[in-house]
Amino acid sequence: MEGRLLSRSFYTRFDVLPIAQELLGKIIVTHKDDFQTSGVITEVEAYQAPEDKASHAYNHRRTGRTETMYLDGGRAYVYLCYGIHRMLNVVTGGKDVAHAILIRSVEPLDGMKEMVRRRNLKNVGFNLTSGPGNVGKALRIAMNDDGVSLLTQQTIWIEDRGIHLPEESIGKMRRIGIDYAEEWAEKKWRFLIKENPWVSRPNG
């Protein structure tokens, strides 16, 4: 399966919203413990600091954790959620621009058997790689992946394998789990491939 590695210039554009939509249909790949696992990105959420109250980097917030978001585009931002889930984000924009895109769901491609093993699932369903916590577990995202470059095919990277999505096939809805973010919670910055069952929730 040959794909074209997404280049630095894909990630370093300033506006995170088109980048998030263009990630739909691209292939996220990880290489861990001699296993290559991958999937078509089917659902993402954009986070646009400093103005976005839902972002960890809201209002130029700089802490040890958020520092990764201020790096140049084309890196992974990984954080632990609820003490359990490793969430995989794509850092975008130039250095000191704290934009990021959360990968919420993928459609399994390579290494599906290994992904099932990592998930400890008895019965395989769409929950294998749907939902950001499940994506992290299936792709074996680890805390030490925080800050790694996506620009080489070593650990984590994103490829274009020629999938083209027409504008009308992209669903735009409210982001999940950020009700505290007031008016920013209303932004339709969750993007997903319509009619694709590999998303964390059919509606929202």
Partner DNA sequence: ATAATGATTCGCT
Partner DNA sequence: GCGAATCATTATG
Which residues contact DNA by CB under 7 A?
45, 47, 54-57, 61, 63-66, 69, 77, 79-85, 87, 89, 100, 102, 119, 127, 130-135, 143, 175-178, 180, 200
Question: Which residue's CB is nearer to DNA, number 34 or number 61?
Answer: 61
Least distance from DNA to the Cβ atom of residue 64, Å = 4
* Contact between 172 and 44 (Cβ < 8 Å): no
On the CB side of 204, CA atoms within 13 Å amount to: 24
Question: Which residue's CB is nearer to DNA, number 38 or number 92?
Answer: 92
7, 68, 97, 147 from 143: Cα distances, Å:
24, 12, 22, 9
Least distance from DNA to the Cβ atom of residue 2, Å = 30
In 110-164, the DSSP E strands lie at 156-160
Least distance from DNA to the Cβ atom of residue 19, Å = 14
Question: Which residue's CB is nearer to DNA, number 26 or number 56?
Answer: 56
Give the dihedral of Cα atoms 153, 19, 74, 114; nearest 10 deg. -40
Least distance from DNA to the Cβ atom of residue 171, Å = 17
Question: Which residue's CB is nearer to DNA, number 162 or number 197?
Answer: 197
